[in-house]
Amino acid sequence: MTDSPRTSSANMPQTGSTTVQSATTKKKLGPVLVQLQHVNKWYGDLHVLKDVNLTVRKGEVVVMLGPSGSGKSTTCRTINRLERIDSGTILIDGKKLPQEGKALQKLRQSVGMVFQSYNLFAHLTILDNVTLAPRHVLHMPKDQAQKEALELLHRVGVDGQAQKYPAQLSGGQQQRVAIARALAMHPQVMLFDEPTSALDPEMVGEVLNVMTDLAHQGMTMICVTHEMGFARHVADRIVFMADGRVLESESPEEFFEHPKTERAREFQSKILGH
């Protein structure tokens, strides 16, 4: 038996707090935390991001939907400069994302990211995977790093696996460890780039439960996913992309019940029709 995660029950103005109607409850959001302004990116002659504008507030859960090749993952990866942009501006907590060097490294510490693949170090135990960055980047004392890591592993439901190695865990367990590892750096915002796409169907729920729990606890999240149930019930806002552009930015209810563009209606008919 595998461990189960512990579960608990259009752009906005640039300053101040606001209240949005999420799919489940009314939530008061904080000030702007992430902002993309007129972002463009090319791969050679291919224009993959076309004047992308995106604003995410503290505590907001934004789910990015769209067909393959629409620019969702590229947009997500530009937020911590894993992908460089060719024009435009990206701001994290009001600070322009640096191009490189120690300033970029420092700002990246506030942006956690979980990928499709788990990217755990195979030669390290689960506990050591989670404590590695806090000890060597944040210079956290070993005892404190281990204490916080065990708390995080408990939070995502894999504390019983702390002394095992990644190969001894299921895919769902490894992805939950990857989430704990990202949280260990005390990020202001979490980026999820299709975190369930590489998992067997029965393991998807394990990871979505952890992500739902994080959302309920107020974590700012930007999620690229094809999990429509998660998008409908957990997101505060749906950002729909196609052909490198943001075509819609709406509440889940508005997006799923009243899509405004033909491209969004076509996407929904293909995804929700099966």
pLDDT in tens, 151-170: 999 999 999 999 999 999 99
pLDDT over 70 at 268, yes or no? yes
User: How far, CA to CA in Å, does 106 sit from each of 88, 99, 102, 110?
Assistant: 21, 12, 6, 8
Per mean pLDDT, which range of 44-58, 89-103, 232-246 is the poorest?
Answer: 89-103
Mean pLDDT in residue range 225-247 = 96
Mean pLDDT across 178-203: 94
The per-residue pLDDT for 198 is 87
For the stretch 99-129, what's the b/e string if a residue is b when 16 or more beta carbons lie within 10 angstroms of its beta carbon? Answer: eeeeeeeebbbbbbbbbbebebeeeebbbbb
> What does the pLDDT look like over 241-258, one tens digit per residue?
999 999 999 999 999 999
- Residue 231 makes CB contacts below 8 A (sequence gap 6+) with 63, 65, 223, 225, 238, 252
Beta bridge partners of 266: none
Find the mean pLDDT for residues 175-179.
96
Query: Alpha-carbon torsion 120, 121, 124, 129, what sign?
Result: negative
| Token duo for residue 208 | 């979505």
- In this predicted structure, the answer to whether residue 29 has a pLDDT above a threshold of 60 is yes
Averaged over 71-80, what is the pLDDT?
Answer: 95
Confidence bin at 39 (pLDDT 50/70/90): very high
Contact 62, 56 (CB under 8 A): yes
